[in-house]
């Protein structure tokens, strides 16, 4: 199968740093997206990695290692509003097309 694995739930303290990991099947891979989804709302785009390395965007950074089939999303200076589900999505080849394949999401709870 084309499993995308990420932790189900994480908790962290306001102001802290948290790293959410994601692993995926490497065959037919063409990029990795991270999305944020607040309860009852649609997902919103956070970041995209296609090459190895770190992409930084404000408080959020995303890292990719293609050879290891591994990515992480790093959230710094956590705020209460960061409590949400974080979805990892790998572009994987299926039937001749690259299809976004999502993990189940990591529910992040930020507490005071």
Partner 1 sequence: GAGVSQSPSNKVTEKGKDVELRCDPISGHTALYWYRQSLGQGLEFLIYFQGNSAPDKSGLPSDRFSAERTGGSVSTLTIQRTQQEDSAVYLCASSPGPLSSYNEQFFGPGTRLTVL
Strands 60-65 and 4-5, sheet pairing: unpaired
Among 7, 25, 48, 70, binds partner 1 (CB under 8 A): 48
Alpha-carbon gap, residue 105 to 103, rounded angstroms: 5
User: Residue 51 or 112: which CB sits closer to partner 1?
Assistant: 51
Taking the CA atoms of residue 100, residue 9, residue 51 and residue 26 in that order, the dihedral angle to the nearest 10 degrees is -60
Q: What is the DSSP string of 16-29?
A: --EEEEEEE--TTE
| Residue 54 binds to partner 1 (criterion: CB under 8 A) | no
Report the nearest approach of partner 1 to the CB of residue 80 (Å). Answer: 22
User: Residue 27 or 112: which CB sits closer to partner 1?
Assistant: 27
Report the nearest approach of partner 1 to the CB of residue 95 (Å). Answer: 5
Residues 95, 27 contacting (CB under 8 angstroms): no
Beta bridge partners of 93: 98
User: Residue 72 or 91: which CB sits closer to partner 1?
Assistant: 91
| Residue 3 binds to partner 1 (criterion: CB under 8 A) | no
Interacting residue ranges for partner 1, rule: CB under 8 A: 4, 31, 33, 41-45, 48, 50, 87, 89, 91, 94-105
């Amino acid at each position: 199968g084309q499993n995308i694995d990420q932790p189900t739930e994480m908790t962290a303290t306001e102001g802290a740093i948290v790293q959410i990991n994601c692993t995926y099947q490497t065959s037919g891979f063409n990029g990795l997206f991270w999305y944020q989804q607040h309860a009852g709302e649609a997902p919103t785009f956070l970041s995209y990695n296609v090459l190895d390395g770190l992409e930084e965007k404000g408080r959020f950074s995303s890292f990719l290692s293609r050879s290891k089939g591994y990515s992480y999303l790093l959230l710094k200076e956590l705020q209460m509003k960061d409590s949400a589900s974080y979805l990892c999505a790998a572009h994987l080849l299926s039937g001749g097309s690259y299809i976004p394949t999502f993990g189940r999401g990591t529910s992040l709870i930020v507490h005071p």
